[in-house]
Amino acid sequence: MTESPVRFAILGFGHHAVRRLLPAFDRSEQTELVGIWRRNQDAAAGDCAAHHIRRCFASREELCASPEVDAVFITSPDAMHFDDASLAIRHGKAVLCEKPLAMNAAEAGAIAEDAKTAGVVCGVAQNFRWNLSVTRLHEQVAAGAIGRPQCAQAHFCYPAQSAPRRWIADPTLACGGPIGDVGVHSIDALRYILNAEVESVSTLAAQDALSGEVEAYAAMQLEMTGGVFAHVVADARSPYRTLIEVTGSEGVLTAENAFSVDRPVQIIRRKAAQIVSTTEVDNRDGYVLMLDAFAAAVRGGAGFAAPVEDGVRNMRVLDAAYRSWRSGQRETV
């Protein structure tokens, strides 16, 4: 007997939901999008009409209390994640929250504790853990394809000045600039690929007229368990580009466009400057796989690959990165 889809509602509907989540829900066989809420009710009504979404909830409370909703996907600005997640958890709903999980590790820890106490599934939408580029790197490193990992780098660059999310430079709404927005993806991917944790962080960052109080671009040096040193670039003032590279004792794995979901990604393994293998993968199913995996967790199946506890760990790294920027010193996680 086929199980009914897990019924989701999106809390904080916006550009990301239209561009990435709606197509994923359309293709997912394990989930169903039943409704949305956004602060601008006129815009919400237009979204529901344009995208044939059944319920346009009048308030966050109505959405979270609805018996039609099994899980709440939180895509609101960062500063709202704590209140939004807490509200959904109090109503017994499973919660899938966009990254970063909160404004700081203390808020993230409180969300995790609330979810544990309530006995509800709570995860972070670190969608790249379901991208084939990232999972293949994870598998090859684990299989010893390049020997013992020693150094790694992850770059995520994009032109935020032309992005539709104007709140991303508002420190009352955003955890930070590109460190919190996309640097968290790089940090999470390296933790996952290397099966390692960040022990300390050293950050250099710069501001400009557009960034205001948050950073415009940054570079972070991470000391990780297992003796791995990593370099993370988070740049909101350059053309789009992503990269993951891991250097080991027996070779190098490189994935240009590693975080791209719009074009194929090549994973190249080299040894002594010679190409040993090239693997091409496509990340277009990443969001669908994430939704289906969360639905399985809600039904009591396998654990979700990006649980709330991982969100807390990422927030601790972000906290240390921002402390380092302000102090000018290497900071312990």
Please tell me the least confidently modeled range out of 71-80, 159-168, 277-286, 316-325.
Answer: 159-168
Query: For residue 183, which amino acid is it?
Result: G
Here the tokens at position 5 are 């889809």
300-306: which pairs have CB atoms within 8 A and are 24 or more residues apart? 304/121, 304/123, 305/129, 305/130, 306/123, 306/124, 306/125, 306/126, 306/129, 306/188
Q: What is the pLDDT of residue 55?
A: 96
Confidence at residue 2, expressed as pLDDT on a 0 to 100 scale: 65
Per-residue model confidence as pLDDT tens digits over 118-133: 999 999 999 999 999 9
Overall size of the chain counted in residues? 333
What distance in Å separates the CA atoms of residue 248 and residue 112, rounded to the nearest whole number? 35
What are residue 252's phi and psi, to 5 degrees?
A: -135, 135
- The answer to whether residue 223 scores a pLDDT higher than 60 is yes
DSSP 264-330: -EEEEEEETTEEEEEEEE--TTHHHHHHHHHHHHHTT-SPPSSBHHHHHHHHHHHHHHHHHHHHSS-
Whether 160 contacts 237, CB under 8 Å? yes
Percent of the chain whose predicted confidence (pLDDT) is above 90: 93
Distance, CA of 143 to CA of 294 (rounded, Å): 26
- Cβ atoms 253, 275 nearer than 8 A: no
Mean residue pLDDT of the chain comes to 96
Between strands 6-11 and 71-74, the pairing is: parallel
**Which pLDDT tens digit goes with each residue over 42-91?**
999 999 999 999 999 999 999 999 999 999 999 999 999 999 999 999 99
For residue 73, what pLDDT is reported?
98
Residue 20 pLDDT: 93
pLDDT in tens, 239-279: 999 999 999 999 999 999 999 998 999 999 999 989 999 99
Domains of the chain (ranges plus CATH)? 6-125+287-305 (3.40.50.720), 128-283 (3.30.360.10)
Minimum mean pLDDT range among 229-233, 262-266, 275-279, 320-324: 262-266
Asked whether residue 162 carries a pLDDT value surpassing 90, the answer given is: no
**Helices 81-90 & 105-118, crossing angle to 10 degrees?**
10
Q: What are the structure tokens assigned to 191, written together?
A: 């933790």
